[in-house]
Structure 1
Amino acid sequence: MTVSEVTSAPQDTRKPSFWYGLPLGYVSLDLHPPAERLMGIVNQLRGLPDQERDEADRALRLYAGIVSLLNTNRVQECALGVHPDDAGGFTTSVFTVSTMLTAGNSAKLVVAGLAGSAADGRDEGMRPLDLPCGIGFLSEKRSPAPRSSRRPEAGDAAPSHIWQGTVAVAAPSTPELIVLQMVTPNLDSADAYRDILLGIARTLTFANPARAAADNEDKEPEALTGAAAAMRNDFG
């Protein structure tokens, strides 16, 4: 597995940038599609036959609704994953990165408290993490899969449960948590997807890797450290 890209959350005056490695097999959903692209799609839809136009219009409206929902929930990244399984088929997952505000400037205190409750066994579904970027925690659970109220006939083919893994880390000098989440309907592959989630979490950094690489360009090659080492170790 190799790093396919290093992603930065959009910058503004409130929060710092952060970067992480996204492994192969994941395709990012465009959460900020330009108006020109959307208008181009609409114009293409107008030229389709009636049935195809209706189906494409529903898909476009679904995409717009998902993007709106993700943006409302401060999601910075949504990536769809497809990987081969041992049975010769494919297993799917959804990976998201979001930011969550905490009261005051207590993000580190929130993470420390949750990690502490995980460490002493008060919450069996959580465990503390010592990541290169700081202290965090891992939470995982199995939940009933959501059902579509618009297409109840699809319920029989849909999975009954999903596995959900969440890693949270406090952003430096801000009241925000960086939340990495992996969801898959393939419960048998939960261990593999937990490893992928933890691998991504170990590459999370608040220092621009490109700037660090530029600073080291004229130096003699040496052992990788920090985020660069994490990416090499976890993604090859």
Structure 2
Amino acid sequence: MTQRSTPPMWFRLPPGFHDVCLDDCDRLDDIIELLAEDHEAAAARRDLDDLMRLLERLTDQHLIHTSIGLHPEQPTGVAGSVFSLALRPTGQHTPSITVVRALLAMERSPLLRCSEVKLLSLPSTAPCGLVAGTLSLPGVDVPLFQARVALAHAESGQLVVADLTSASVQHSAEYSAILEGIAHTITFINPVPPQSAPVSRIQELT
């Protein structure tokens, strides 16, 4: 579970995701060595290079968290993905309108061939929606799959934007499901209440 500031936020990533920054490529390369067969490691590294270039493009997008997902792929190999979380000012204090406008802007992006748009019903009851499709970026040779969640934070007037992007477009349905699952864990209230002090047995007797 990870906490970030402005506003405080908690969320949970599933197994296989590793928090990263742009200086972590060597560490991730070591993980690929453990997950992939020798003849598959080179292809996995190429995918990792593509994903790290994508991460560089995201550095000015109000990011507060980034992780890379590395999951074994049958029969051998590794499927890689980038998860990013950003907080963006909106100037709009009606949460539902903020989310709808964000979803429409994503769906109409000339870079995205949209395949899925839907509203999500979260335990937090915060307005939220998901857009997914195939992403084409200038300078990136391979097609990418991207699922994006927009979630309004009513008190701060900011928009939480969570992206899950991968060159493994054949796993698009699985990645959409993963991001939707992550969205269901996002909360602005600490899910682990502080522990109360233990009761003194001497005090119980007085």
Q: So what's the TM-score if we normalise by structure 1? A: 0.59
SS at match of 2:195: helix
State which of 187, 199, 212 in structure 1 corresponds to 2:169. Answer: 187
Structure 2 residue 142 is matched with structure 1 residue 127: no
Structure 2 residue 21 is matched with structure 1 residue 26: no
1:143 shift after superposition: 2.0
Match of 2:195 in 1: 214
Cα distance between partner residues in 1 of 2:19 and 2:98 = 29
SS at match of 1:22: coil
Cα distance between partner residues in 2 of 1:175 and 1:23 = 28
Cα RMSD of the aligned pairs, angstroms, is 3.3
Structure 2 residue 66 is matched with structure 1 residue 78: yes
Q: CA-to-partner distance for each residue in 1:87-110, whole Å, 9 max, x for gaps?
A: 221110000000111124234422
Cα distance between partner residues in 1 of 2:3 and 2:77 = 32
Judged with a 3 Å threshold, the aligned counterparts in structure 2 of structure 1 residues 31 and 7 are, in CA distance, closer, same or farther, namely farther
> Does the CA-based 8 Å contact 1:31-1:71 persist in structure 2?
no
Question: For residues 77-156 of structure 1, what are the structure 2 equivalents within 5 Å?
Answer: 77-112=65-100, 125-133=116-124, 134-147=126-139
Cα distance between partner residues in 2 of 1:141 and 1:198 = 14
Match of 2:35 in 1: none
Amino acid in the other structure paired with 2:67: A
> Does the CA-based 8 Å contact 1:131-1:202 persist in structure 2?
yes
1:171 shift after superposition: 0.8
1:188 shift after superposition: 0.9
Q: CA-to-partner distance for each residue in 1:10-46, whole Å, 9 max, x for gaps?
A: x2xxx3211100122111124799xxxxxxxxxxxxx
Number of positions where the alignment pairs a residue of Structure 1 with one of Structure 2: 162
Match of 2:2 in 1: 7
Give unmatched runs, 5+ long, in structure 2.
Answer: 25-51, 105-113, 200-206
Amino acid in the other structure paired with 2:89: L
SS at match of 1:72: coil
Cα distance between partner residues in 1 of 2:85 and 2:117 = 19
Cα distance between partner residues in 2 of 1:196 and 1:74 = 22
Q: CA-to-partner distance for each residue in 1:203-230, whole Å, 9 max, x for gaps?
A: 00010123x2636x99xxxxxxxxxxxx
Q: So what's the TM-score if we normalise by structure 2? A: 0.67
> Does the CA-based 8 Å contact 1:115-1:136 persist in structure 2?
no
SS at match of 2:184: helix
Judged with a 3 Å threshold, the aligned counterparts in structure 2 of structure 1 residues 202 and 29 are, in CA distance, closer, same or farther, namely same
Amino acid in the other structure paired with 1:147: G
Cα distance between partner residues in 1 of 2:23 and 2:62 = 12
Give unmatched runs, 5+ long, in structure 1.
Answer: 1-5, 34-62, 117-122, 149-154, 219-236
Higher helix share: 1
Give me the identity figure in percent: 25
1:130 shift after superposition: 0.5
> Does the CA-based 8 Å contact 2:9-2:189 persist in structure 1?
yes
Cα distance between partner residues in 2 of 1:114 and 1:93 = 23
State which of 150, 160, 163 in structure 1 corresponds to 2:145. Answer: 163
